[in-house]
Amino acid sequence: MRSCSLQPLRERHLSFIPIFLTSPGPLELSPSSQLVRRQTQRISNQAGRCSNPTGDNRDLAMISLDFNFNILTRDLSHYLENQVKVGLFGSGVGLSLVLGFSAAYTCYYLISVAKKPQLISGGKKFCQFLKEQCPVVSETYYPTFWCWESRIQTLLRPFVTAKPGVVYRNELLKAADGGQISVDWFDNDDSHSYPDPTTRPTVLLLPGLTGTSRESYILHMVQQSRDLGYRCVVFNNRGVSGETLLTPRTYCAANTEDLETVIEHILKTHKSSPIMAAGVSMGGMMLANYLGRKGQETCLKGVIVFSAGWDVFECSASLEKPLDRFLFNSYLTSCLQASVHRHRPVLEKCYDIDHVMKAKTIREFDERFTSIMFGYPTNDDYYRDASPVHKLKSVQVPMLCLNAADDVFSPSHAIPVEAVKQNPHLALLITCHGGHIGFLEGLWPRQSTYMDRVFKQYAKAVIEQGGGLKDLS
């Protein structure tokens, strides 16, 4: 005698019945759901009475359950959709959480993140000139709300910002030691503001530590200069832009001989053209050191410096902290080593390249390579000479310096506020955020940054309103 098989069959099929069909809930049952409940109860009763069912009874139960399964599936989907709607947004709890978080974040951003930059100057005349001719120095800087943190700004800048199309004319200059210097010209022959090339203003641009004329921040400044009708010339440090290294010498922040050669060449080529310069990171350090050594003996009408490291000892210490060493220091060290490796046949005659290639930080690289190349007794002597903070008192050309207080490359406590206050030719613009050469702003900061706006307004002021910068002292 066969035992009843409907009980396990019933358990197996009824396991698909959602809880809302068998127990009361906040959601009202549809007519089809009520029908399923009645039929399910009827089948359950039949199954309970069946101790020895016939084949017809078992088939009837199977047909009834199969008939109900499609209805159950449809109503289950309907239930889930409505239950999520009621439980999350219909009740208002989820919406309140989203709105509350958004309001809190907005308040925090407006109170703690978006702030006016601090303008510090050694003289009232220069400060007033900047406020009148460069309104951006008095405006609130609104960093991109989803990436205002310094490291994120620094890391994302090369990837987020666009690279404007620029066609350069390359020129190789002979250096006094027999080496060659690569400069890239953007002549801007289509300039409507200055159609005469002999009087067209020239902007000299200096990239960062391993940068070239193809860096996004350089291309943006070229684009801003093009809009103003100016020409640009980019000074590439030796060995970084693809040219052959003819002598066993590269570059450093303390040595300005190559920069002086480039400036003299520009002046000789365009004698009637006003010249100003902009330097970024190490390029800004080199430019500041050049002005500190030259004093009034320069043809530059004005200078702007972005994210410069003012005290190299403090910069190195900051970059050697674990997180910043991982994110920036190791990468930059590998870039410097890659440049050395490209020119190994020339450099290995004078330096222990194998030892240089084992450096783990920029400091170790400078100890084994840079300081030796430029004849310093120790690396500390090189770092002291490379730090612009010691030469700011000798600067005699209007120089605006933009730094972010959260820049890990140039920590805020090393920004030379007091030194700037002692020189009427200097002005310091400090933003709370911006990172290192970041200064991203707007919802999607692809086309322009705060740094670009500062550059454009200052360049125009120096070139076209330069008379207001005379006799600053």
Which sequence positions are flagged as catalytic? 281, 407, 436
Sign of the Cα torsion 370, 207, 289, 325 reads negative
Distance, CA of 39 to CA of 61 (rounded, Å): 10
3-class DSSP assignment, residue 234? strand
| Cβ–Cβ < 8 Å for 112, 140 | no
Distance, CA of 383 to CA of 368 (rounded, Å): 13
Helix runs in 357-421, H state only: 362-365, 371-373, 379-386, 417-421
- Going through 91-168 in order, the beta strands assigned E by DSSP cover 118-121
Closest CA to 144 of 463, 464, 470, 435: 435
Q: Pairing relation of β-strands 231-236 and 180-186?
A: antiparallel
Helix axes 379-386, 312-319, angle to 10 degrees: 110
Extract the tokens encoding 204: 């000299």
State which H helix or E strand residue 404 sits in. Answer: strand 399-404
Partners of 306 in the β-ladder? 280, 402
Query: Which DSSP string corresponds to 279-348?
Result: EETHHHHHHHHHHHHHTT---EEEEEEES--S-HHHHHHHHTSHHHIIIIIHHHHHHHHHHHHHTHHHHT
Distance, CA of 468 to CA of 129 (rounded, Å): 7
Distance, CA of 428 to CA of 45 (rounded, Å): 88
State which H helix or E strand residue 76 sits in. Answer: helix 55-84
Distance, CA of 231 to CA of 191 (rounded, Å): 9
Q: What angle do CA 5, 11, 17 make, to 5 degrees?
A: 140
